[in-house]
Amino acid sequence: MNAPVKTPEERQAELQGMGDARLRKEDARFIQGKGQYCDDIKLPGMLHMDIVRSPIAHGRIKNIKKEEALAIPGVHAVLTADDLKPLNLHWMPTLAGDVAAVLADEKVHFQMQEVAIVIADDRYIAADAVEAVEVEYEELPVVMDPYGALEDDAPVLREDLAGKDEGAHGPREHHNHIFTWEAGDKEAADDVFASAPVTVSQHMHYPRVHPCPLETCGCVASFDPIKGELTTWMTSQAPHVVRTVVSMLSGVPESKVRIISPDIGGGFGNKVGVYPGYVCAIVSSIVLGKPVKWSEDRIENISSTAFARDYHMDGHLAATEDGKILGLKVDVLADHGAFDACADPTKFPAGLFHICSGSYDISAAHCSVKGVYTNKAPGGVAYRCSFRVTEAVYLIERMVDVLAQKLDMDKADIRRKNLIRKDQFPYTSPFGFEYDSGDYHTALEKVLNAVDYKDLRAEQEEKRNDPNSPTLMGIGLVTFTEVVGAGPTKMCDILGVGMFDSCEIRIHPTGSAIARMGTISQGQGHQTTYAQIIASELGIPSEVIQVEEGDTSTAPYGLGTYGSRSTPVAGAAIAMAARKIHAKAKKIAAHLLEVSEADLDWEIDRFKVRGNEDQVKTMADIAFAAYQQPPEGLEPGLEAVHYYDPPNFTYPFGIYFCVVDIDKGTGESSIRRFYALDDCGTRINPMIIDGQIHGGLTEGFAVAMGQQMPFDEQGNLLGNTLMDYFLPTAVETPAWETDYTVTPSPHHPIGAKGVAESPHVGSIPTFTSAVVDAFAHLGVTHIDMPHTSYRIWKKLKEEGVQL
């Protein structure tokens, strides 16, 4: 009996292609405790590495005594910078063109810096040995304030750079200066400011924060001395680049280095860089000929691996009296810590900070970012954002609010007046970015209607006039644009490798498929969504498409997952690889159906002969034929590889709205409502998009309302456990409302723009906008983050707010 013929709708639904809220393929292993994270890996004979760290922020190492540690049974080695020197591995290059100490070489530059490593039979013995290593220090004066770092008589932090007046990004003006980077047209901006009727200025500090994924960093390095092969499982967001770096550092040919990023327990930018712990574990494995595991603890993670932000910003806007913005100027002092280890494309030492003209049509703009060394941990990574976009969006959104207050304009009105109009796209910003597409005004009105903006303003007015109101009410509004999908290789590279990404698809004879990718998921659900793209392109059900990534020995070279680049770059590579297969499949179908290719139409999962719709070949039929007897002139098999070099970045945008109620007595804030409209272009899986947005909003909430890395004058980090560092629980986390519009990217093969970082980037200034708005009637134009209850309470007292 023949199977019932399926309708096109049924066939479409079976594919679970783009647009389908398909449940996640990766979940089965995670919900049964069968994920495989780095620390789950156990190899025969594996040793454990632990790290001796500096208790002080700046000092000279006088002496390191290893004997007592080496005497502990089960300890195999204690290594210091002196042991790495003969291998020339005591320093390593950073992604930002600087060098960083692998193990402290004569000096320590920040608290918790790596000073020595111990290798032992198990992690307990290793911890004992760490305690037993005695290090004698001579303390040096500490530089914690980045402004103080540039004073003439400031202590010299980086003695290793003595005499180097030229850094990776131009001349160094001072012994603690790293670079000064500028974008835009200073003269044009100065001219506008000289004649503008209205100008406003605001200083703001974007605090140092840490991405703090739930899984810390770690690796298992396994060198096979007989084969000369090095395999390393590593918590890396960019395994291929790591392979290149490891090969360069170790001298092991890249063909004999295999980096595997297994399941990763969150990254958020923290797992982009190459840390001393990885290098030391690899060196230890090569030296000892045994597998070596390193698992960082939480205090080590927060204290020593890459932080984010720490930008001291001065923003200036020039405008007409009726609120049309004419010019923007920004000056930033960037605290990079002890080594310049920012993870940015090579040409951009301040990342894509020059997206700071935001969603607004501004004719003249200039920005300048100065990087300095201090006695803090190195880093400066993109914490769930694309290379300093979070700082840029915060700056411009704050400045637009400040201007609105100066002009006594409503914050929605000033945005209506200045947002780039739909008909202006593609729009070239004063910093030279070409925004691909957008419809900001439609999205703004959609949000304002959804939240009953006018009613909320009326309620706020009522509360402000009521001395008995127990709360201050604040309304936050942000209309942001991101720049993601780095990036075009003509502009973006990491260590000289262009920031393309890649996909290899193989269709098996029976019609199922495997795709291998240069990216690596850390929770984004690539195994689910990438398959959906292929399903829609090739008519193969998602369910039978396997997606693999993270193993450099099987996956094509790619630059990894960070900066919302997976969908914009790798997602495009998938579509392009699939289209190569589609083109070949069409030739095979024409051959099988004995017609010309021009007579074929594609429908969901099959080619049909035009005018004779019973004559069809499904992708499954074609796959088998490809391996059986391909038409003359075609190779057997059905597979393709594509390396995608994006022609431009993509520019997702969003309109975020927040209502906060602040207790006048305690300073406690309560997020009454948070409404997030995102436009990420074509939507691949709405369920996953919503999940990513919830997560990004929650991380934004954490940054705005509580995260900070405070130091005392001696350079001690005052909060480096999860007791002190704010990760919101379910109790503090607000309920999120999400919405969307769809404005596809015109240059992306499927029109997708990337989404996971927008909610982080967009929500942070929204919270600040709301908190400041609660005080706006008192003349307050800005309050620095984090908006903790204590800091808000102090502000209430400062402003004389009475209960």
Partner 1 sequence: MAKQIVKMTINGQQVEQLVDSRTLLVHFLREQMNLTGAHIGCETSQCGACTIDIDGESVKACTHLAVQCDGSDVKTVEGLAENGALHPVQEAFYEEHGLQCGYCTPGMLMRSYRFLQENPNPTEDEIRTGISGNLCRCTGYQNIIKAVQSAAVKLQDKETASA
- Which residues belong to the active site? 237, 384-385, 757
Residue among 432, 406, 272, 392 nearest 342 (CA): 272
For the CB of residue 757, give the shortest distance to partner 1 in the complex, in Å: 13
Q: Does 730 bind partner 1 (CB under 8 A)?
A: yes
Stretch that binds partner 1, among 261-269, 354-362, 442-450, 591-599 (CB under 8 A): 261-269
Cα–Cα distance measured from residue 40 to residue 282, given in angstroms and rounded to the nearest whole number: 18
- The conformational region for residue 681 under phi > 0 = left, psi -120 to 50 = alpha, else beta, is left
Torsion of CA 412, 416, 418, 423, to 10 degrees: 150
Q: Which member of 266, 337, 358, 571 binds partner 1 (CB under 8 A)?
A: 266
Q: Is there a contact between 662 and 471 (Cβ–Cβ < 8 Å)? A: yes
The number of residues in the chain equals 803
Please give the Cα distance from 301 to 773 (Å, whole number): 35
In the complex, the smallest distance separating the C-beta of residue 293 from partner 1, rounded to whole angstroms, is 10
Alpha-helical segments (H) within 335-388: none
Token pair, residue 239, equals 């395994």
Q: Is 263 in the site for partner 1 (CB under 8 A)?
A: yes
The answer to whether residue 29 forms part of the interface with partner 1 (CB under 8 A) is yes
Binding mask 108-137 for partner 1 (x = CB under 8 A): ---------------xx-------------
As measured in angstroms, the least distance from the Cβ of 726 to partner 1 is: 11
HEC-encoded secondary structure of 550-609: CECCCCCCCCCCCCCCHHHHHHHHHHHHHHHHHHHHHHHHHHHHCCCHHHEEEECCEEEE
Closest CA to 637 of 627, 645, 629: 627
Find the shortest distance in angstroms from Cβ 23 to partner 1: 6
Both tokens assigned to 341: 């280890």
Q: Which stretch binds partner 1 (CB under 8 A): 35-43, 321-329, 369-377, 491-499?
A: 35-43
Tell me the number of residues near partner 1 by CB under 8 A.
57
Q: For partner 1, which stretch binds (CB under 8 A), given 372-380, 523-531, 600-608, 609-617?
A: 523-531
Residue type for 298, please? R
201 or 721: CB nearest partner 1: 721
DSSP code string of 161-202? GTT--EETTEE--STTEEEEEEEE-HHHHHHHHHH-SEEEEE
Neighbours of 145 (CB within 10 A): 17
Angle subtended at Cα 101 by Cα 310 and Cα 151, rounded to the nearest 5 degrees: 45
Given strand 257-260, what is the order of strands in its sheet? Answer: 75-80, 114-120, 47-53, 292-295, 218-224, 229-234, 257-260
Interface residues for partner 1 in 284-303 (CB under 8 A)? Answer: 295, 297-298
Choose, by CB under 8 A, the member of 80, 216, 303, 527 that binds partner 1.
216
The minimum distance between CB 262 and partner 1, in angstroms, equals 11
The contacts of residue 59 (CB under 8 Å, 6+ apart) are: 107, 108, 137, 138, 139, 140
Q: Based on CB atoms, which residue is closest to partner 1, 13 or 127?
A: 127
Report the nearest approach of partner 1 to the CB of residue 743 (Å). 25
7 vs 32, which CB is nearer to partner 1? 32
Q: Report in angstroms how near the CB of residue 688 gets to partner 1 at its nearest.
A: 7
Among 148, 265, 488, 719, binds partner 1 (CB under 8 A): 265
Helix 572-593 vs helix 619-628: angle between axes, to the nearest 10 degrees? 70
Sign of CA dihedral 142, 146, 147, 149: positive
Indicate whether 727 belongs to the interface with partner 1 (CB under 8 A).
yes
Judged by CB under 8 A, the residue of 11, 19, 26, 592 near partner 1 is: 26
- Encoded one letter per residue, x for contact with partner 1 by CB under 8 A and - for no contact, window 470-509 reads ----------------------------------------
Q: Which is nearer to partner 1, 123 or 672 (CB)?
A: 123
Does 670 sit near partner 1 (CB under 8 A)? no
Q: Does 718 bind partner 1 (CB under 8 A)?
A: no
71 binds partner 1 (CB under 8 A): no
Q: Tokens representing 33?
A: 């405790």
State the number of CA atoms in the 13 A half-sphere of 46 facing the CB: 21
Residue 561 within binding range of partner 1, rule CB under 8 A: no
Asked whether the beta carbons of 129 and 60 are under 8 A apart, the reply is no
Of the candidates 71, 214, 495, 718, which one interacts with partner 1 according to CB under 8 A? 214
Of 226 and 730, nearer to partner 1 (C-beta) is 730
User: CB of 21: closest distance to partner 1 in angstroms?
Assistant: 9
DSSP assignment of 451-500, as one string? TTHHHHHHHHHHHHH-TT-SEEEEEEEEEEE--BS---TTT-EETTEE--
Binder of partner 1 out of 735, 779, 800, 802 (CB under 8 A): 735
- Assigned token pair, 559: 């630059």
Q: Taking contact as CB under 8 A, which single stretch among the options 29-37, 151-159, 193-201, 544-552 is the one that binds partner 1?
A: 29-37
State the DSSP code for 241. H
Q: Which of 14, 19, 24, 416 binds partner 1 (CB under 8 A)?
A: 24
Restricting to residues 503-522, name those near partner 1 by CB under 8 A.
Answer: 522
CA distance 114 to 217: 14
Q: Could you give the residue ranges of the DSSP H alpha helices within 656-738? A: 686-705
Quick one: 220 or 492, whose CB is closer to partner 1?
Answer: 220
**Which of 17, 146, 184, 213 touches partner 1 by CB under 8 A?**
213
CB of 29 to partner 1, least distance (A): 8
Instruction: Output the smallest distance, CB 115 to partner 1, in A.
Output: 21
How many Cβ atoms from other residues are within 10 Å of residue 136's Cβ?
Answer: 11
Which member of 28, 156, 495, 634 binds partner 1 (CB under 8 A)? 28
Q: Provide, rounded to whole angstroms, the least separation between the CB of residue 523 and partner 1.
A: 3
Does 661 bind partner 1 (CB under 8 A)? Our answer is: no
Q: What is the largest CA-CA distance in the chain?
A: 91
35 binds partner 1, rule: CB under 8 A? yes
Q: Does 37 bind partner 1 (CB under 8 A)?
A: yes
Q: Quote the tokens at residue 637.
A: 């098999």
Q: By CB under 8 A, is residue 268 in contact with partner 1?
A: yes
d(CA 590, CA 471): 72
Pick from 132, 196, 212, 559 the residue near partner 1 by CB under 8 A. Answer: 212
For residue 430, the 8-state DSSP code is T
For residue 204, give every residue at least 6 positions away whose Cβ sits within 8 Å of its Cβ, in sequence order, or none: 312, 313, 314, 315, 394, 395, 398, 782, 784
Using the contact rule CB under 8 A, the part of the chain among 92-100, 695-703, 707-715, 788-796 near partner 1 is 695-703
Is 568 a binding residue for partner 1 by CB under 8 A? The answer is no
Q: What are phi and psi of 139, to 5 degrees?
A: -70, 140
Alpha carbon distances (Å) from 234 to 37, 378, 520? 9, 20, 12
Least distance in angstroms from the C-beta of 664 to partner 1 = 24
> Closer to partner 1 at the Cβ: 444 or 688?
688
Asked whether position 688 contacts partner 1 by CB under 8 A, the answer is yes
Which stretch, 2-10, 26-34, 533-541, 589-597, contacts partner 1 (CB under 8 A)? 26-34
Among 6, 8, 10, 34, binds partner 1 (CB under 8 A): 34
Residue 656 contacts partner 1 per CB under 8 A: no
Rule CB under 8 A: which residues touch partner 1? Answer: 23-24, 26-37, 39-40, 42, 123-124, 212-216, 263-266, 268, 295, 297-298, 522-525, 687-688, 690-692, 694-699, 721-723, 727, 729-731, 733, 735-736
